[in-house]
Amino acid sequence: MAEYKGIKGFKVQTVSTDPAASVIATGVWASGGDLNTARGSISGAGTQTAAVAFGGDIANPPGTPAPYTVQALTESYNGTSWTEVNDLNKGRLASVGGVGTQTAALLSGGYLIPPSASPSPTIGIQVDVESWNGTSWTEVAEFSTSRYSFGTSVSSPNTDTMIAGGYTGNPPTALTNAVETWNGTSWASGTAMTTPKGGFSGLGASSTAVLMAGPTTELWNGSSWTEVAEKNNTRSSSASAGPSSSGLVYGGNTPPVSALTEYWDGSTWTEVADLGTARQGLAGAGSTSASSAALAAGGSIAPGARSLTTEEWTATPAPTFQKENLGQVYYNSTSNAFKVTQQGVPAGTWASITPTNTPRRGAMGAGTETDGMVIAGYPAPNVNVEIYNGSSWTEVANINNSRGYGGTATNSPTTSAIIFGGDNRNPALPGFSSNVETWNGTSWTETTDLPAGVGANRGAGTSSTAAISIGGASSPVYLTTVNNWNGSSWTSIASINTARGNMGSMGTETAALINAGFTTSPANAILKNTEVYNGSSWTEVGDTNSGRSGGGAAGISTLGLTFGGEGPTYPGNVAQSITEYWNGTSWTEVADLATAINGSAGLGNSGTKAISTDFANAEEFSPGTANFTLTAS
């Protein structure tokens, strides 16, 4: 007799490991043999099982003439342990260029600091180049421009490599975009990079296929440089390994020191497993297969602290490897759990997108991630308005009155929007604004003012005829006031519980959420608390994990994101990159913005996607595919 499960049911596959987006996503860092001498600003070459690490610095005891001492040490790695071998002819540090193999490496540039130097030494920037034959170092032809913290094609042989950019002065404000190539005997000038830059990492297997990743990322194809996708997290003094089409960048200084690892697939960057030890100025090694096998050794873990630690990266297909299939339901026998592969905010990431045409901060954002609007902002006076269609920004008609940090509401900026209040920051119109303007898809029209001038207020709502203005400042105090707009007039409604301004806001005129912000009672406090509105009253719910003021927000009252801002205390505020996700009950920290920002405009009402803009930065948050455990409810 047929069973019900045979007629209506389906088989659930049993696996021992979760499916993954790719083989590289299964990669992990594991401990290797320690260096003999802990060093920072160290260079490396070779592969995971046959590497060489050289140069760098060691931290001196407190009270000694210099905070650190330059090193000429060289160590060789056999996949298990490090052995000291012959020293460099001249010790050096600070992101010097190491390329090649364990038995044929090249070291170029960098800088040296004499052991007797003061705590603020004069940097001796180098043009010297040394070649390693597996036994000893030999000085070879110098390059033309002395520099340090430049990029190199790290996986290149020591007879075909490139150096590009770097710092040429101290303090490190003088930058170059000069490029030089090495043919094993001499250096020749190459085509300059698009812009001068330093503090970046290089990928490349030859001088004709190189990727330089730093504040911006440029790809060299043998004839020209092209700017390509930026890393998800900007940082300097990272290690790197691999060719220009498939490599890793790991560690670095954001600040502080970082454990982040990112994989370049030839077109985009993806965050993969972090290092076990966060550090900067570490040695990297890895051949053309660096995406599956790389090495990280030494580095600085804190001011005055250097590391011995070596870690090995492995990403090889497991016998049971399966690629993620959205919607797949399966049983993980290792964790004894039923799981489903789906998209979710906790697995999401930020990626850089085209910035607005006019850089600004404190702008008002409205609409969705594919039909959004950024309005006005600073520097004042600013009346500029731009609409985003999911790929590009288009300038439309200006508002009539300049302002920033005001309230706005709409779901479709291409046809309808409203802006109210804000800080004028305009000598001709001092103070906070009561002005209200509506957008009909073509132009802005002034309409009934707010009952009183207010700045740093926020808004929620669905159209130019249905919105609420929430809180804000009426100098010198912050307000609990909430006013409702019905398309023709403003009416006072239920107040929020905590007076505040510059908070995050999302949702509609009958189902809204506000979080964090700034208040004057208690004196100059940055807040964490969250309130939700059900159409009649405000209720305090779970706090954000981090206090902030001037952050962006996007979503609905039961599902959304808040990001950026400044905090967490006042005074001494610093720009934030922290992003938190609201699931209707609590906040969870998720992927950070690539660039710390304050005064971000947020776009998005889906609760799972968002756009953040600030000055010349723009980033998009997208939910990621991940495996979630199924639980009974």
Q: Give the pLDDT band (50/70/90) at residue 115.
A: very low
Please give the average per-residue pLDDT across 465-486, as a whole number.
94
> What share of the chain has pLDDT > 90, as a percent?
54
Using a 10 angstrom Cβ sphere, with 0-12 exposed, 13-18 middle and 19 or more buried, the burial of residue 177 is middle
**Do β-strands 482-485 and 466-470 pair in parallel, antiparallel, or remain unpaired?**
antiparallel
The larger pLDDT score, comparing residue 448 to residue 352, is at 448
Domains 24-312 and 345-629 share a fold: yes
Total Cβ atoms within 10 A of residue 86: 15
Model confidence pLDDT, tens digit, residues 405-442: 999 998 789 899 999 999 886 656 568 999 999 999 99
Mean pLDDT for the stretch of residues 109-136: 71
Cα separations (Å) of 250 from 62, 216, 326? 30, 16, 29
Domain 24-312 is in which class? Answer: mainly beta
- 444-447 vs 436-439, strand pairing mode: antiparallel
Question: In angstroms, how far is the first alpha carbon of the chain from the final one?
Answer: 33
When pLDDT is cut at 50, 70 and 90, the band that residue 381 belongs to is confident
Long-range contacts of 595-599 (CB under 8 A, 24+ apart): 595/234, 595/619, 596/564, 597/361, 597/552, 597/564, 597/565, 598/361, 598/550, 598/551, 598/564, 598/565, 598/566, 598/573, 599/361, 599/362, 599/363, 599/377, 599/378, 599/404, 599/405, 599/550
User: Residue range 251-271: average pLDDT?
Assistant: 89
Taking CA 575 as the corner, what is the angle to CA 572 and CA 580, rounded to the nearest 5 degrees? 120
User: Per-residue pLDDT tens for 292-334?
Assistant: 789 999 999 988 899 999 999 998 777 777 888 888 888 988 8
* Separation of alpha carbons 338 and 624, rounded Å: 19
Q: What is the predicted pLDDT for the residue at 288?
A: 64
Domain residue spans of the chain? 24-312, 345-629
Q: Grade residue 96 by pLDDT with cuts at 50, 70 and 90.
A: low
pLDDT at 265 exceeding the cut of 80: yes
What H or E segment, with its residue span, contains residue 559?
A: strand 559-563
Query: 208-233 burial string, b = 16+ CB within 10 Å, else e?
Result: bbbbbbbebbbbbeeeebeebebbbb
Mean pLDDT, range 179-194, rounded to an integer: 93
Alpha-carbon distance of 330 to 323, in angstroms, equals 13
The pLDDT value recorded for residue 116 is: 45
Residue 218 pLDDT more than 80? Answer: yes
pLDDT category, 269, cuts 50, 70, 90?
confident
Comparing CA positions, the residue from 315, 308, 274 lying closest to residue 81 is 308
DSSP E strands in 167-236: the ranges are: 179-182, 187-190, 201-206, 209-213, 217-220, 225-228
Taking residues 126-154, what's their average pLDDT? 89
> What mean pLDDT is predicted for residues 88-108?
83
**pLDDT tens-digit series, residues 490-525:** 999 999 999 999 999 999 999 999 999 999 877 788
User: What pLDDT does residue 1 have?
Assistant: 53
pLDDT over threshold 70, residue 117: no
Structure tokens, 498: 């905590």
Rounded distance between C-alpha atoms, residue 366 and residue 611, angstroms: 10
Residue 119: predicted pLDDT: 44
Asked if pLDDT for residue 394 goes beyond 50, the answer is: yes
Sorting pLDDT into bands at 50, 70 and 90, what band is 59?
A: confident
pLDDT of residue 82: 98
User: With 0-12 CB in 10 A as exposed, 13-18 as middle and 19+ as buried, what is 563?
Assistant: buried
Q: Residues 239, 269: contact at Cβ < 8 Å?
A: no
CATH topology of domain 345-629: Neuraminidase (2.120.10)
Q: According to the model, what pLDDT value does residue 261 have? A: 94
Facing residues of 374 across strands? 365, 386
For residue 360, give the nearest of 13, 618, 61, 49 by alpha carbon.
618
Q: What confidence score (pLDDT) does residue 109 get?
A: 84
What is the model's pLDDT at position 522? Answer: 74
Which of these, 282, 285, 277, lies nearest to 299 by C-alpha position? 282
176 contact partners, CB below 8 Å, separation of at least 6: 145, 147, 165, 166, 167, 168, 196, 198
Is the omega angle on the peptide bond into residue 522 within 30 degrees of 0, that is, cis? yes
Could you tell me which of 528, 498, 496 has the C-alpha nearest to residue 512? Answer: 496
Span 211-216, mean pLDDT? 83
For the chain, the average pLDDT equals 88
C-beta of residue 514 within 8 angstroms of C-beta of residue 470:
yes
Tell me the one-letter amino acid at 23.
V
pLDDT attached to residue 121: 45
Query: Which ranges constitute the DSSP H helices of 123-181?
Result: none
